[in-house]
Structure 1
């Protein structure tokens, strides 16, 4: 009886329907895993130059986006897509990067379908799982760039191409033309995909017996793709400024780079990953051998992964040699991302071949691959540390910028980063990087900005090479009054106010700026506290705006923090309003400086002026209320103990910041 039940259970497990459901569940699991890995720590890294440029260009009108892209090294489709995406979801780091996350996740089912078409469902699922956890793909799915979208389009183009070669139908040809055209409008490097496809098509369709009908359809598809590019090429060719090549790598170094980059995502210190490259390359070699051995079963489509993986990167290397009179692309790691899905297919084929040869060896190899990928993903996440100097400086300017103000960046090496964080509404005046500042040029610049009420001078880290004597700062100070200076580690913000301007500085916020010696002395609106926390952070003073809060209105609590040593953790600041019974009636929790300056990024020793807006409920009863504050760990929620200064009664982890009285007469 038991034997019959066991046989019946095994027969059901082998049913085609159940097998199909299991593979579908596997694909869904890969999609969910890929989404989780790409959303994790998505906003935990500051925007860099290329990302800032993408947003800067996407903010422009459509016609200007197209004109600007025609003179740069990338086509316009990603910027046009990003233009509408940012209007839909906003420009925060998380929202903007989500545009790439979606393409990264969407690539997973396409890779599965491609692997299933080439070598079966097991290979497709293995390839989808590899791409889902590949650190190289995760990295570029978390950037506001076109590489994730280009890889998705390349995988879609390869999928449609295999259908056109093996089972040509009108729908497959249309899908191929659309996917390939979109791919080429995403990135010029995807021309390598078209070159690989043409090599495969020429061999598959013209070798005896020649398939002339399919060959004519293939030529027609290439003509259709070319025609979609004609309008862009007519604009791009006369305006392109890309003419020069770059010093090439040695062939052996390039091979080592490709063998290391695709499985690990690492393009530097290649010697550290030699054994990883050897292990993955050996499995890939087994996959290529398996594809070649089974070519009679798979037909000509076995050539797709073989030629794509061997010839595609080689073509990039050949084209990078500075021999072209028009354009020689650089060898940049991210240009190889379009071949990662094919690499995953061959790797998965190699693992399956090993399992068929020796189940123990194959399973051991799969666990080794999984372990290596997991460790590399963990190492990648460790690099996503927030360096918020430009963001914190820009946020400070945002809070106080008024019509009639001017913002200067000296120098402008990373100007797209500052432009991104300042927002589209604040124009940025750039001092060119590499241009030496002289006394006459500094005086001329000071005169240029003489008509502005307030001048915000942002001194970037590279100022040591452009203006080591701070001549522009001195020229502005000679003309106007310097009313403030804030230090955000590598970035300084200096504020100069025209002596003839009657307006109050930053009327909507309490922003204390008065540079004296090595520190920043709190303004008169601040009341000293001098409370010390167990992690070494001190609360030096506080300010209320307005000084007497009213029910139903919001008020600002500005805390003046100081630190002496670098902090290893990110803390959340809490500001609570408690009634006479200690009941919480209002609060605001958040990272310092409106979320722009996490404690881990503080350039200690320093002072940090941190404003929190608290909304009071309209039905507060008259009485005395306490404002308390402090810090707690972002991960665990544990509060930091107060070791010096006035504490809230019966609480060792809350600083008693201030008291205020609500009277019976309300406005």
Structure 2
């Protein structure tokens, strides 16, 4: 018998692995911005070696454990995968099946309800394919992690109580404390444990027997939770931050809000489910019709046997506590906030099926009943599989709710950058608005900086040149590019509803497109391939204290491999000078590609006491302590400098 149960549990766990791992990189599509956020923070841990205790975000903050585990997944070989957190959530979702079985077995040891034999094993198969647990496990966020943690803690608590094991109570308490590092979901784990503990000490005359064990559990909980708890005590706004963000309705009027949510949750089990197409096949209820029948029969049987059955009390209190998050938050029935209720729901489904079995066993002959029951269970499992892999997968809005646009664009840009110049804007005052770019574009040849501060151009480039401008924050760059290149192809991408950016604009400059000539023509060329096309000069004359604004247009005749600094001397003997890398060091010459033209904009202020006169403008380059060789110029100087114009300095 034990061997058969073991192999059945192996099969249930294998089934859970199959429905969670098959096609994981493609379904759901990559990648929801929360998954990208976890991947970015995990990469920071690997690069910096620091494990933050809490992340302060504009949506109320994030507890760190999911990030820590995602860093582990990236360290094991998934570092370039934007959905590395999915391996964490699916693995924990799979482990939830044997953990749930262990937890149910401990309840079975308490007091058996009607003909319990085999119920935990069958419930494991139900949980393995329960639609909303599969859906949420395959999204790389915290609910599946919180589910596994809750099962581990409750299992250890019941096991410790049955065996009177101090070590078991210690493990259960430490597990509950560590679970607080997951998310606000986990705050309900100690509440469920407390209710189960009350059943151990009831009637109260038994409290002395359990005082030491539960005191040890509580101390272990506090010690594990202590670092994060101390942070919350010092900054209490972050303890409530995320909860406050999702309870706006409750804050307006709790009783009416709670009653409406209770109605929505009740309907959500069998009639009208979560409308969010990311977390659910839109509006699909939690249960299929076969599961619904079992669930309501199980609820009825458990309520009927509540007074005489400890198992009924454990299961119903478990269900009640884990439904509280969805009852007090916005957008009920939000399935992601019902995740921790999945194990008691699965057990009640099977409980109800057993009730039905016993009712029918006196009417239908044994073999026929077994065949019908087997077909019933298989049909339910198959129903849930089809709903996910066929119906959910074919939802037309799925790419949009998973914010896939930026991921697809980032991958396309990275591919283009292997052959051509690609410039993607990075807004300095809003650095974290396009997570896909932040994760996928580093270590590629895509150039990212604020195009308002540095806008490289092109002149007769042999390849197409691509720009991506964040036009919801930058209204300057697109008009500038249109003015320079009237034949440019412009494509606008509007951000999905949950994307942080509002609009991205793709500008493509065809190959061999000429750049308009600057107003002042000048010729000077330096090895290994820097050529001056011309320049702009705001004034031909200036007085001390005034500034003259220059823009020099430097073209890369070849891909450059040297970081060089440009200089401008006023007068051959350097009455005034300015040294600096073009674009304020944003885009060093070692990254320039053939055909690119980089404007070097700066202001030169005339120092007081500068002698008046007509002075030549002298330019050049140096790298380290050595000037770059001047290879061609209209007015060369013997020291690798070139005269390209003049400036009149007037008396004050």
TM-score (norm 2): 0.60
* C-alpha separation in 1, matches of 2:466 and 2:486: 10
Q: Secondary structure at the match of 1:493?
A: strand
Aligned pairs (5 A) from 1:259-658: 259=266, 266-268=273-275, 280-291=291-302, 300-314=310-324, 317-318=327-328, 320=329, 332-359=334-361, 363=373, 366=377, 369-370=380-381, 372-377=383-388, 378-383=390-395, 389-399=405-415, 407-408=424-425, 415-423=434-442, 446-450=451-455, 457-458=467-468, 466=472, 471-478=476-483, 485=489, 492-494=505-507, 500-503=553-556
Q: Secondary structure at the match of 1:145?
A: coil
| C-alpha deviation, 1:222, in angstroms | 1.7
C-alpha change, 1:157 and 1:41, in structure 2 (3 Å) is: same
Query: Residues 101 and 142 of structure 1 are in contact (CA less than 8 Å); yes or no, is this contact kept in structure 2?
Result: yes
Q: Is 1:109 matched up with 2:98?
A: yes
* C-alpha separation in 1, matches of 2:86 and 2:14: 18
State the partner residue of 1:36. Answer: 18
Q: Secondary structure at the match of 2:206?
A: coil
Moved more, 204-213 or 385-394: 385-394
State the partner residue of 1:181. Answer: 177
1:131 aligned to which of 127, 131, 139: 127
C-alpha change, 1:426 and 1:66, in structure 2 (3 Å) is: farther
Q: Secondary structure at the match of 1:502?
A: strand
Q: Secondary structure at the match of 1:407?
A: strand
C-alpha change, 1:305 and 1:292, in structure 2 (3 Å) is: same
* C-alpha separation in 2, matches of 1:110 and 1:204: 21
| C-alpha deviation, 1:159, in angstroms | 0.9
* C-alpha separation in 2, matches of 1:487 and 1:505: 29
Aligned pairs (5 A) from 1:150-169: 150-169=146-165
Q: Secondary structure at the match of 2:25?
A: coil
* C-alpha separation in 2, matches of 1:449 and 1:333: 46
1:1-43 Cα deviation digits (max 9, x unpaired): xxxxxxxxxxxxxxxxxx2222222111111111111122211
C-alpha change, 1:348 and 1:277, in structure 2 (3 Å) is: same
Query: Residues 351 and 366 of structure 1 are in contact (CA less than 8 Å); yes or no, is this contact kept in structure 2?
Result: no
1:325-358 Cα deviation digits (max 9, x unpaired): xxxx998431221221221112222212221222
C-alpha change, 1:127 and 1:503, in structure 2 (3 Å) is: farther
Query: Residues 43 and 93 of structure 1 are in contact (CA less than 8 Å); yes or no, is this contact kept in structure 2?
Result: no
Aligned pairs (5 A) from 1:7-18: none
| C-alpha deviation, 1:484, in angstroms | 6.4
1:218 aligned to which of 199, 214, 219: 214
* C-alpha separation in 2, matches of 1:413 and 1:357: 60
Query: Residues 173 and 220 of structure 2 are in contact (CA less than 8 Å); yes or no, is this contact kept in structure 1?
Result: yes
* C-alpha separation in 2, matches of 1:275 and 1:77: 27
* C-alpha separation in 1, matches of 2:270 and 2:559: 52
| C-alpha deviation, 1:157, in angstroms | 1.1
1:258 aligned to which of 257, 265, 268: 265
C-alpha change, 1:26 and 1:140, in structure 2 (3 Å) is: same
Query: Residues 70 and 236 of structure 1 are in contact (CA less than 8 Å); yes or no, is this contact kept in structure 2?
Result: no
State the partner residue of 1:198. Answer: 194
C-alpha change, 1:331 and 1:374, in structure 2 (3 Å) is: closer
Query: Residues 456 and 495 of structure 1 are in contact (CA less than 8 Å); yes or no, is this contact kept in structure 2?
Result: yes
Q: Secondary structure at the match of 2:89?
A: helix
State the partner residue of 1:83. Answer: 71
Q: Which runs of 5+ in 2 are unaligned?
A: 109-115, 251-255, 460-464, 495-503, 516-532, 534-552, 562-652
1:471-524 Cα deviation digits (max 9, x unpaired): 53113555x66996575976653368997353369999xxxxxxxxxxxxxxxx
C-alpha change, 1:110 and 1:487, in structure 2 (3 Å) is: same
| C-alpha deviation, 1:289, in angstroms | 4.0
Q: Secondary structure at the match of 2:44?
A: coil
Moved more, 220-229 or 93-102: 93-102
| C-alpha deviation, 1:406, in angstroms | 5.4
TM-score (norm 1): 0.59
State the partner residue of 1:74. Answer: 62
Q: Secondary structure at the match of 2:220?
A: helix
Say how many residue pairs are matched. Answer: 461
| C-alpha deviation, 1:76, in angstroms | 0.7
Q: Which runs of 5+ in 1 are unaligned?
A: 1-18, 322-328, 431-444, 509-667
* C-alpha separation in 1, matches of 2:272 and 2:342: 10
1:422-456 Cα deviation digits (max 9, x unpaired): 247789979xxxxxxxxxxxxxx654225899996
Moved more, 274-283 or 155-164: 274-283
Larger Rg: 2
Moved more, 415-424 or 119-128: 415-424
* C-alpha separation in 1, matches of 2:333 and 2:248: 8
Q: Is 1:20 matched up with 2:2?
A: yes
C-alpha change, 1:130 and 1:423, in structure 2 (3 Å) is: farther
Query: Residues 457 and 493 of structure 1 are in contact (CA less than 8 Å); yes or no, is this contact kept in structure 2?
Result: yes
* C-alpha separation in 2, matches of 1:453 and 1:237: 56
C-alpha change, 1:493 and 1:308, in structure 2 (3 Å) is: same
Query: Residues 89 and 144 of structure 2 are in contact (CA less than 8 Å); yes or no, is this contact kept in structure 1?
Result: yes
C-alpha change, 1:505 and 1:114, in structure 2 (3 Å) is: farther
* C-alpha separation in 1, matches of 2:99 and 2:292: 24
Q: Secondary structure at the match of 1:393?
A: helix
Q: Is 1:56 matched up with 2:40?
A: yes
C-alpha change, 1:260 and 1:134, in structure 2 (3 Å) is: farther
1:305-337 Cα deviation digits (max 9, x unpaired): 21111233136534x49xxxxxxx998431221
1:259-317 Cα deviation digits (max 9, x unpaired): 4656799401999657967864553232234445566886x454222111123313653
C-alpha change, 1:94 and 1:232, in structure 2 (3 Å) is: closer
